[in-house]
Amino acid sequence: MIVNNPIIRGFYPDPSVCYAEGKFYLICSTMQYFPGVPIFESVDLVHWKQVGNCLTRSNQIDLDKINASGGVFAPTIRYHEGRFYMVTTNDTYHKNFYIYTDDIYGEWSDPIFVDQGGIDPSLFFENGKTYFMSNGNDANGKGCVLQCEIDIETGERLTESVPLWNGNGGRYLESPHMYKFGNYYYLMAAEGGTEYGHMVTIARASSVNGPFNTYKGNPILTNRDFGGHENHIHGIGHADLVTNAEGETFMVCLGFRIQSDWQPYHHLGREVFLVPVTWDGEWIRVGVHGQVFEKMEIPVDSMYDESAEMMNYDFNMPFGDTDRLRMSYIRQPVLDNYDIKDDSITLIPTEINLDATDSPSFIGVRQSEFDTVFSVEVEAGVGEAGITALMDETHHYEIARVLLPDSENAEIITRYHIGSVIGIAGRLSIPKEKSVRLMITSEPANYTFVAVVDGEEHVLGTADTKHLSSEVAAGFTGVFEGVYATNDVITGIGSHVKTDSKDKAVFTNLKFTQD
């Protein structure tokens, strides 16, 4: 059947997938956002539903004051003897660890750390043994895949970490995964960096310990040679393979969608794509001539669930269980500052604003499409309360209601923070007792900021989406849209007004539609 890519849209990078008891489970990176590592479930690889998050407690992951695009990197999920394992890296602190659960819908264990460096860790189980691998460097300082055997109960290394493979010669060798097909062990990785030169490469050996022989047909998957007018999907790489009960194998990988033919910017983040897999002798062939397209013929007909619904990326009150699972905080939240009901979100503002490398009073969801409308009604006392399109602490736009102490009126402001430049783009003064509806609309190339007072729309600015893209802001995340409150009002570069207010900000009638 024809499958529409991406299958999971928006900032859900570094996908890993496993098959367990008739269903597929997929997880992704979350970087500085909490809770960490969302879990998706599917019976056909096409329809996905979020069913949980792996990292839901502060003792599982330290996100305190971490750098943007640090934190939780490239998790791997594996199912072995009735137990799920998730292994990942806290890249900010250079620590590899894994957690486990016997109930995919329940809580996961406390972390078990492994004394091996590198990032993008993975597990391989065979004959009662557990092998742990990550990227790293060999004795000559050259990038490689490192592997050791561990005690899965304790994380203790049982062998030295040894180099398995130096890759196909591309930069930034990462994302190693081991598989056994027939008589061979296959080691698959990503190279080229998670940008426009990204690619998937593979090698094989007769032993789990190598030596691994590089496939002469590498890369097996890449979109690096496309121009924008040929294909809007780029950055294809960081893949994982999964085999169902019938022995059919499929691949998931990351990629991103650029804004338009001649605007090579992406601000929605790296997303999840589904790719067909066939065998050519003893090597796999993936994609269409090793490339990924928006519409692809993939043999999922035998397990396709026509009754299932595609994942709904709209986010509207009243909130349901899936909506709550999708909500994310920045870094380690102070949960006492949040009161989330089905029909309202109440935030207690703090002195931490969106520019801080800390955890502001903020909650949001991923922007998953280019064309969106995000709107909410705001009630607040002294301080600032608003909505934002946020890439990181130095690249974000917001429209907010600001009430300074002893002021007769409230101001609705639009603020842009682009790198080292901060500016107020629009202002509207209203009586402080007036209610206001704030709105951000988006198209591929721009955001528009609107305040609705007494039914009248006031456009307070338009800004380029490209300034929130990875090409401009750098980093590995995508745009979140959400609500926030702070009593540290930024009026310009180096200019702040601190209100020291604890007046609550109440957000109601929230609607976020994405098309």
**Rounded Cα gap, residues 473 and 395, in angstroms:** 6
Q: Are residues 20 and 153 in the same domain?
A: yes
User: Is residue 308 situated within a structural domain?
Assistant: no
Is the Cα torsion angle 469, 72, 28, 339 positive or negative in sign? Answer: negative
Residue 41 DSSP code: E
Is the Cα torsion angle 127, 128, 134, 139 positive or negative in sign? Answer: negative
Is residue 47 within 8 Å of residue 98, measured between CB atoms? no
**Rounded Cα gap, residues 147 and 209, in angstroms:** 8
**Rounded Cα gap, residues 52 and 459, in angstroms:** 38
Exactly one of 44, 120, 174, 271 is catalytic; which is it? Answer: 174
pLDDT of residue 495: 79
Q: Are residues 291 and 326 in the same domain?
A: no
Is residue 234 within 8 Å of residue 196, measured between CB atoms? yes
Q: Are residues 55 and 120 in the same domain?
A: yes
Is residue 158 within 8 Å of residue 148, measured between CB atoms? yes
Is residue 14 within 8 Å of residue 27, measured between CB atoms? no
User: Is residue 477 situated within a structural domain?
Assistant: yes
Token digits for 405?
A: 């102490």
Is residue 36 within 8 Å of residue 30, measured between CB atoms? yes
User: Is residue 25 situated within a structural domain?
Assistant: yes
Q: Which of 275, 303, 331 is the last residue of a domain?
A: 303
Mean pLDDT for each consecutive 10-residue tract of the chain (515 residues)?
A: 97 98 97 98 98 97 94 97 97 94 98 96 98 95 96 98 96 97 97 97 98 98 91 97 96 96 94 96 95 96 92 96 97 97 97 96 98 97 96 98 92 96 95 95 98 97 98 97 94 79 93 97
- 């698959």: which residue's tokens? 188
Q: Are residues 328 and 272 in the same domain?
A: no
For 375-391, letters b (16+ CB in 10 Å) and e give bbbbbbbbbbbbbbbbb
pLDDT of residue 259: 93
Is residue 208 within 8 Å of residue 124, measured between CB atoms? yes
Catalytic (active site) residue 14: yes
Identity at 52, one-letter amino acid code: G
Q: Are residues 72 and 155 in the same domain?
A: yes
Phi, psi angle pair for 257, to nearest 5°: -105, 125
Identity at 515, one-letter amino acid code: D
Q: Which of 303, 334, 349 is the last residue of a domain?
A: 303
Q: Are residues 290 and 325 in the same domain?
A: no
Q: Are residues 111 and 215 in the same domain?
A: yes
Token digits for 2?
A: 């024809």
Q: Would you call 408 helix, strand, or coil by DSSP?
A: coil
Token digits for 214?
A: 């590089």
pLDDT of residue 501: 79
Q: Are residues 195 and 121 in the same domain?
A: yes
Q: Are residues 118 and 229 in the same domain?
A: yes
Phi, psi angle pair for 466, to nearest 5°: -60, -25
pLDDT of residue 262: 86
Each residue's pLDDT tens digit, 320-334: 999 999 999 999 999
Angle at 142 between CA 141 and CA 145, to 5 degrees: 115
User: Is residue 444 situated within a structural domain?
Assistant: yes
What CATH number should be reported for the domain holding residue 449? 2.60.120.200
What CATH number should be reported for the domain holding residue 286? 2.115.10.20
Element (H, E) at 186: strand 184-191
**Rounded Cα gap, residues 447 and 46, in angstroms:** 30
Phi, psi angle pair for 468, to nearest 5°: -105, 15
Phi-psi label, residue 287: left if phi above 0, alpha if psi -120 to 50, beta otherwise: left
What is the CB neighbour count within 10 angstroms for residue 354?
Answer: 26
In the chain, what is the straight-line distance between the N-terminal and C-terminal CA atoms, in Å?
23
What is the CB neighbour count within 10 angstroms for residue 249?
Answer: 16
**Rounded Cα gap, residues 139 and 143, in angstroms:** 10
Q: Would you call 318 helix, strand, or coil by DSSP?
A: coil
Q: Are residues 288 and 370 in the same domain?
A: no
Is residue 83 within 8 Å of residue 102, measured between CB atoms? yes
pLDDT of residue 492: 73
Q: What is the pTM of this model?
A: 0.97
User: Is residue 236 situated within a structural domain?
Assistant: yes
Each residue's pLDDT tens digit, 305-318: 999 988 999 999 99
User: Is residue 350 situated within a structural domain?
Assistant: yes
Catalytic (active site) residue 343: no
Element (H, E) at 472: helix 470-473
Q: Are residues 238 and 335 in the same domain?
A: no
Q: Which domain holds residue 355?
A: 321-514
Q: Pick the closest to residue 135 from 117, 150, 123 (CA basis).
A: 117
User: Is residue 315 situated within a structural domain?
Assistant: no
Is residue 205 within 8 Å of residue 196, measured between CB atoms? no
Is residue 230 within 8 Å of residue 223, measured between CB atoms? no
Q: Pick the closest to residue 384 from 408, 358, 363, 414 (CA basis).
A: 414
Is residue 173 within 8 Å of residue 145, measured between CB atoms? yes
Token digits for 455?
A: 């039914």
Q: Pick the closest to residue 390 from 348, 421, 418 (CA basis).
A: 418
Q: Are residues 325 and 292 in the same domain?
A: no
- Return all residues near 210 (Cβ < 8 A) that are at least 6 apart: 164, 165
Q: Which of 243, 276, 303 is the last residue of a domain?
A: 303
Phi, psi angle pair for 301, to nearest 5°: -55, -40
**Rounded Cα gap, residues 250 and 291, in angstroms:** 14
Domain count, the chain: 2
User: Is residue 313 situated within a structural domain?
Assistant: no
